[in-house]
Amino acid sequence: MIRVGTRGSKLALAQSGMVAEELARVSGEQVELVEIKTTGDGTTVPVAQLGVGVFVNQLREALERDEIDIAVHSYKDLPTAQPEHLVISVPPRADTRDVLIAADGRTLADLGPGARIGTGAPRRIAQLNALGRGFECVPIRGNIDTRIARVGDDLDGVILAAAGLKRVGRQAEVTEYLDPLVMLPAPAQGALAVECRKADMTSARISSMLNDRYSQAAVAAERALLQRLEAGCSAPVAALADVAESAEPGEVDLYLRGLVGAVDGSAVERLSTTAALPDNGATDGADLAARAAAVGRALAEDLLEAGAERLLK
């Protein structure tokens, strides 16, 4: 029996259920979901005030107490510093984009000055304000159903992650998929982290069967940028990496974009870079992820040199 730890929200159960099904398929073992309550559950306090790791710490504690064998996280919720005794596998990444759900099927272009858009993410607020359209950004917490229910009531629209909506079957309500040129996503958005103890070699071997090397490398680049900026998951920082097979044998191509913005939209620093990375084809993807992370740190240095530090302060 493989015990998979998960938060109890509708989204967490949906994505952990997907992982559990894959674990059962690749291992032939029975899999049980174990619900763990975290600090971030059951509160409407903004994540920026709660701090990094509020959706993660109790799951990791359950791992360390051997109450579960594997924990499933939304990767973007993880602190950037990874404990050495824990190891992560990254299943194939879902849609990275943000989406708008607005009343009457409207898009951002249809919403005028004063339109009330629900989002509590400083990253999204910074980019919405930078558009100069006069939107009113309304801090909002709660599950997907609660947020969508406010559209047409006290909100003209809400912005959510495409991946989460698809995982709970509500993607048909999307009125616009936001181009990354308009709304660059959070580092690791759309990715799941399947985490276990390094010393638990059986669980580590089984979970590694779910690992997608290109998704792992993309997330490594984005989170290395975030870590070098010394910014948490609630900071106004965005990043998106695309990793694809190169025309050159033994290489993969990485295209990375990064953004740091002032929450009021008064200034935004955007930079991008490309790199051809040597790839030894190893199934664990660790070497490729390390090379991708180096690219992320380098782009963060460029952002800092361009003035990102004052925006983060």
- Which amino acid does the sequence have at 189? Q
Give the Cα separation of 101 and 108 in Å (integer). Answer: 10
179 is catalytic: no
User: Quick one: tokens of 244?
Assistant: 């694809």
Active site residue: 77, 98, 156, 279, which one?
77
* DSSP secondary structure of 207-233: HHTT--HHHHHHHHHHHHHHHHTT--T
Q: How far is CA 183 from CA 123, 130, 258, 261, in A?
A: 9, 10, 11, 12
The beta strand positions in 17-109, using DSSP E, are 31-35, 70-74, 86-89, 98-102
Strands in 268-278's sheet, in edge-to-edge order, are 237-245, 251-261, 268-278
User: Quick one: tokens of 7?
Assistant: 């938060």
Residue appearing with tokens 């071997």: 205
User: Quick one: tokens of 105?
Assistant: 């099927």
Supply the DSSP symbol for 105.
Answer: G
Q: Are 138 and 156 in contact (CB under 8 A)?
A: no
Burial 47-68 (b: 16+ CB within 10 A, else e): bbeeebbbbbbbbbebbeeeeb
Q: Which residues are catalytic?
A: 77
